[in-house]
Amino acid sequence: MAALLVLLVLVKSCQGIVYNYSNECKIYKLGYPIDEARILAATLTDEQADSLIAHQEHDTIAIPLLGERYFIIDNFHRYIAYHKNDTTDAPLDVIVAMVNMGRDRDWESSAVPCDTSMGQLMLVNGRHYLDEHYKPDSLVTFNKNYCYEGQKAQRAVVDAFMTMQKACKEQTDAQLMVNSAYRSYKDQIGTYKRSPKGYAARAGSSEHQTGFAIDVTSRQHPMRWPFDTSEEGIWMREHCHEYGFILRYTQKQSQIFGFAYEPWHLRYVGLETAKRIHDEDITFDEYYAYYIEPHTKSKGTK
Ligand SMILES: [Zn+2]
């Protein structure tokens, strides 16, 4: 009987020692309430928990972060680091969006080649770049009645634009026109030099090089800014997703994320993606980070 009691005491104290080595206990000792420590220990990978413990990270946003719509576990530490350095008091959803888009990094020094195998879903921005040799396989010229100066784009883009402009004409009586579509790396060097600061991407960082981007105005409002407030400009913003396009840089997003508003710049991503981006009101960068990148990483293709 006495031996059994000694054994029980030994097992209990042994369990205590083991518990001290658990992530739950170590996270609890950082200052988190026990129920939060339990949630964090169950959610984080061992590597992430080790890092949290090593950096003595105790942050009030740790638990609320886990409930964010676009939370990506691999970005956990970057969200916390962003929050610590943030002087703007950004809400959690903005912190998550900024980090997911890679805006917490210096884009030039952390730049990565664009994964062109993604086709119409390839991401090109200041961080994901195309090299000077990239050119779409097959470019189609727009009918000259619908573009200025003979523009070219990928076949799917030309077809979708033609369907969209027809619907716009029927509903607003205005004729949409393509101002600019495919631009080579070399063309973009010139565009960048000619454009006001913030309104053109550096060569290699422009979606126009993919052949999936078009700048649109109308015959009635050929200049970009009156087009923005014209009936057809508003129609295009509201309906372009029905044809597989997204407005890449919206006014609302520019106010939140600080990039230039471009009411004329459409990006073709296909019907399904365009609808989701429209319905969820997110940027393509956020869409790519949340819906595409984790899957390409797990397949080892990136
Ligand atoms: Zn553009």
Q: Six-digit token pair at 171?
A: 């509903």
Fold of 112-298: Muramoyl-pentapeptide Carboxypeptidase; domain 2 (3.30.1380)
- pLDDT of amino acid 281: 94
Exposed e or buried b per residue across 181-219, where buried means at least 16 C-beta atoms within 10 angstroms of its C-beta: bbbebeebeebbeeeeeeebbebbbbbbbbbbbbbbbbe
d(CA 224, CA 215): 9
Cα of 243 vs centre of ligand 1, distance in Å, is 18
Crossing angle of helices 231-239 and 155-172, in 10° steps, is: 130
Cα of 104 vs centre of ligand 1, distance in Å, is 24
The rounded percent of the chain whose pLDDT value lies above 70 is 93
- When comparing pLDDT for 252 and 269, which is higher? 269
- pLDDT of amino acid 257: 84
Residues of the chain with CATH 3.30.1380.10: 112-298
Tens of pLDDT, residue by residue over 5-25, are 666 666 666 667 778 889 999
Q: Six-digit token pair at 220?
A: 């009635």
Average pLDDT for 191-218: 89
- pLDDT of amino acid 180: 94
How far CA 196 is from CA of 122, 142, 193, 278, in Å, comes to 26, 27, 8, 28
- pLDDT of amino acid 9: 66
- pLDDT of amino acid 294: 86
- pLDDT of amino acid 1: 64
Cα of 6 vs centre of ligand 1, distance in Å, is 77
Tens of pLDDT, residue by residue over 70-112, are 999 889 989 999 999 999 999 999 999 999 999 999 888 889 9
Average pLDDT for 26-30: 93
Cα of 261 vs centre of ligand 1, distance in Å, is 11
- pLDDT of amino acid 302: 38
Exposed e or buried b per residue across 19-28, where buried means at least 16 C-beta atoms within 10 angstroms of its C-beta: eeeebbebbb
Cα of 263 vs centre of ligand 1, distance in Å, is 9
Residue type, position 223, single letter: M
Tens of pLDDT, residue by residue over 30-40, are 999 999 999 99
Cα of 126 vs centre of ligand 1, distance in Å, is 14
Tens of pLDDT, residue by residue over 144-203, are 999 988 899 999 999 999 999 999 999 999 999 999 999 999 988 998 888 887 777 888
